[in-house]
Amino acid sequence: MTNLSFREEKINIGRNYPIASRSGFKCGGCAEYYAQPSSITELKEVFILAKERRLPITVLGAATNILVSSDGVKGVVVSTTSLKGVSVKGTLVTALAGESLDSLINKAIEHNLTGLEELGGIPGTVGGAVSGNAGAAGKSVSDFFFYADCLDKDGNTIRVKKDSDTFSYRHSLFSSDLVVLTASFSLLPSLSASECRKKKEAYLKKRLESGQFASPSAGCIFKNPEGMSAGRLIDECGLKGKTVGKAAVSPYHANFILNTGGATAEDIYLLSELVREEVKAKTGYNLEYEIKLLGFKEKA
């Protein structure tokens, strides 16, 4: 353990913080240091401090899409979840990184703006959704993304506008060296806020019916291979209901792994790897993780 007193710095950084309790899977280890800055200025201070102390930084949103190993995460984990706020100017909707994607969609609908309803009910923050280019039902965050203000690895704030390299399927250039501070979306005027609300609710209902929230999970574990559904492949390999310890392949949607109560992060990891191996052996498809693994060595 690094022998540091972060208290001197007057930044609220906790030690041995059980981030896993916040994660979608509700299991795994602790962050060596944990900060949840309540302003962008405070977030920058955390970065400066960690850099001075040569501590690695891991930025997380609501941790809905991560699996933290039981050994936890070394260095400083920074959660953006206290950076909240959404503003609307004409057809441009801007949110701080820690705002929930769902609140952004609701705010847009209130202001008679449309575009993101299909993403209704995707758990997590705007920063996380932009970084992972979240999507559902053929729509992705990238479809309406306009620009993001980001912190680069030297601590400078830069504005990144969308170009052809910014996003690909479930990936963005924000997932490596850039931290999203705010993101702006250019939406379309809608004729009826109530129709948009109904549409969004219908997608949320579909998500609920898929059993995603029945037990702790991180939604889809694997990315869809091009032109194919990972869920369908896993299902066709007969893996629904397969378990390792208390981790189980969902009986509803085969691309979800559930913590059925008391699963360890290693149960979930081993089950995911078993699924990958079976799918590779039976179908030839190489499934790639959609979730982020922290503290594990992902096999190639």
- The two three-digit tokens of residue 26, written as one number: 């509700």
Residue 281 buriedness (CB in 10 A; 0-12 / 13-18 / 19+): exposed
Q: Does 161 bind ligand EPU (CB under 6 A)?
A: no
**Which segment (55-63, 187-195, 216-224, 274-282) binds ligand EPU by CB under 6 A?**
216-224
Which one among 36, 276, 290, 292 touches ligand EPU, defined by CB under 6 A? 290
- Beta carbons of 241 and 248 less than 8 angstroms apart: yes
- Give the torsion through C-alpha atoms of 228, 253, 291, 295, to 10 deg: -130
To ligand EPU, the closest distance from the beta carbon of 252 in angstroms equals: 7
**Tokens 């102390």, residue located:** 53
Six-digit token string for 256: 């979800």
Of the ranges 10-18, 27-35, 144-152, 222-230, which one interacts with ligand EPU (CB under 6 A)? 222-230
The whole-angstrom separation of Cα 126 and Cα 180 is 9
Q: How far is the CB of 249 from ligand EPU (least distance, A)?
A: 9
Encoded tokens for 60: 């997380």
The piece of 15-23, 90-98, 183-191, 217-225 that touches ligand EPU (CB under 6 A) is: 217-225
Residue 128 to residue 101: CA distance in whole angstroms: 9
Cα separation, 144 vs 94, in Å, equals 12
Find the binder of ligand EPU among 142, 224, 259, 272 (CB under 6 A): 224
Among 198, 205, 232, 282, binds ligand EPU (CB under 6 A): 232
With CB under 6 A as the contact rule, the residue among 219, 263, 265, 266 that binds ligand EPU is 219
Q: Tell me how far, at minimum, the Cβ of 288 lies from ligand EPU, in Å.
A: 10
Taking each helix axis as running N to C, give the angle between helix 101-110 and helix 193-209, from 0 to 180 degrees, rounded to the nearest 10.
160
Q: Give the residue with the Cβ less far from ligand EPU, 102 or 290.
A: 290
* Tally of helices (H runs) and strands (E runs) in the chain: 6, 20
Q: In the complex, what is the shortest distance from the CB of residue 159 to ligand EPU, in angstroms, rounded to a whole number?
A: 27
Should residue 231 be labelled a site residue for ligand EPU when binding is judged by CB under 6 A?
A: yes
Segment 94 to 153, residues that bind ligand EPU, using CB under 6 A: 136-137
User: Which CB sits closer to ligand EPU, 142 or 182?
Assistant: 142
Which among 144, 129, 127 has a CA at the least distance from the CA of 91?
A: 144
Site string for ligand EPU, 241-260 (x = CB under 6 A): ------------xxx-----
- Which positions touch ligand EPU (CB under 6 A)? 136-137, 219-220, 223-224, 229-232, 235, 253-255, 290
